[in-house]
C-alpha cells in the first residue's frame, strides 16, 4: 500500500470512529450524564463545548466562527502539506502523524459545521420525563444552531488522581484537584498523538524542513 493510501485510510478510520462515537453519545446520553466504564477513573461523561480541544473555548459567536474558519484553513493546509511531503519522499511516520492531526481537526470541525443543523439540543434530564435531555438526529423541526455554530461533543473523562492542593500553595492551598480533568474525544486524542509522535520520533526530520 502506498504512503498516500495509508495516510488517507488512517484519516478515514479516525473520522469514522470519532463521528460514530459522538453520534452514539449524542443520541443516547443527556447533557452531563456520566457512565462509569472502569471504576471511577475511566468515565463516559457527556459534555459539549464551543471551542478547542479538551474543552477549551473561545467566547461568543465571533470567537466560534473565527475558530471554525481557522480550522478549515488549517485542514486545507495540512492536506496540501501531506501531498507535498509525499512527493518529496518524507518519512512515512511523519506523514502519518500529520494524518492524525488532520483527522482530529476534521472530526471537530464536522461537529461545529453540521451538528447544530442535524441535532436537537442536548440538555439536562427531567426525571419526570423519560428520555428527556437526549438529542434527536435529523429532527423535523430543524436543529439547534446554524452552520458552523454547532458544539463539539466530548465524552472521555479520566479522573485518575484526586486529592487536595497542599496548604502552602498560594491561593490554591486546600482546594481539591483532579488529574486528568479535561473531557475529550477521539479527534482530540488523534491531534495529541500526532503532535507527540512528531516531537518524539520525527525531530530529526523537522530539522531538515
Q: Does the annotation mark 154 as catalytic?
A: yes
CB 89 within 8 A of CB 95: no
**Plot region of 143 (φ>0 → left; ψ -120 to 50 → alpha; else → beta):** beta
- Residues 122-143 have pLDDT tens digits of 998 876 676 678 999 999 999 9
Query: How far from 46 is each of 79, 139, 197, CA to CA, in Å?
Result: 31, 20, 28
Backbone angles phi, psi at 36, to 5 degrees: -65, 130
Is there a domain that residue 135 lies in?
Answer: yes
Report pLDDT for 59: 55
**For the segment 31-87, what is each residue's pLDDT rounded down to a tens digit?**
999 999 998 889 999 999 876 555 555 555 666 777 788 889 999 999 999 999 999
- The grid coordinates listed for 43 are 468515565
What cell does 64 get?
466560534
Which residue segment(s) compose the domain that 134 sits in? 3-154+187-206
Q: Is residue 182 part of a domain?
A: no
Catalytic-role residue among 18, 121, 175, 188: 188
At 159, is the pLDDT very low, low, confident or very high (cuts 50, 70, 90)?
confident
167 is an active site residue: no
Q: How many domains does the chain have?
A: 1
- Give residue 11's pLDDT: 97
180 occurs within a structural domain: no
Would you state the pLDDT for residue 122? 95
Q: CA-to-CA distance for 70 and 88, rounded, in angstroms?
A: 26
pLDDT score of 187: 96
Amino acid at each position: 500500500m502506498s504512503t498516500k493510501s495509508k495516510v488517507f485510510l488512517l484519516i478515514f478510520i479516525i473520522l469514522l470512529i470519532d463521528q460514530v462515537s459522538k453520534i452514539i453519545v449524542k443520541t443516547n446520553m443527556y447533557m452531563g450524564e456520566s457512565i462509569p466504564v472502569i471504576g471511577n477513573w475511566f468515565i463516559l461523561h457527556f459534555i459539549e463545548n464551543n471551542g478547542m480541544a479538551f474543552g477549551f473555548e473561545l467566547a461568543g459567536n465571533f470567537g466560534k466562527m473565527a475558530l471554525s474558519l481557522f480550522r478549515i484553513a488549517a485542514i486545507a493546509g495540512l492536506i496540501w502539506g501531506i501531498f507535498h511531503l509525499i512527493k518529496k519522499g518524507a518519512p512515512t511516520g511523519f506523514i502519518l502523524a500529520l494524518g492524525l492531526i488532520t483527522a482530529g481537526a476534521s472530526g471537530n470541525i464536522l461537529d461545529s459545521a453540521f451538528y447544530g443543523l442535524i441535532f436537537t439540543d442536548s440538555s439536562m434530564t427531567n426525571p419526570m420525563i423519560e428520555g428527556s435531555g437526549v438529542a434527536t438526529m435529523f429532527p423535523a423541526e430543524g436543529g439547534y444552531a446554524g452552520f458552523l455554530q454547532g458544539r463539539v461533543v466530548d465524552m472521555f473523562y479520566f479522573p485518575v488522581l484526586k486529592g487536595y492542593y497542599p496548604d502552602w500553595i498560594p491561593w490554591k492551598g486546600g482546594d481539591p484537584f483532579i488529574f486528568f480533568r479535561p473531557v475529550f474525544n477521539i479527534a482530540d486524542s488523534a491531534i495529541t498523538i500526532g503532535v507527540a509522535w512528531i516531537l518524539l520520533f520525527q525531530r530529526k526530520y523537522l530539522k531538515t524542513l
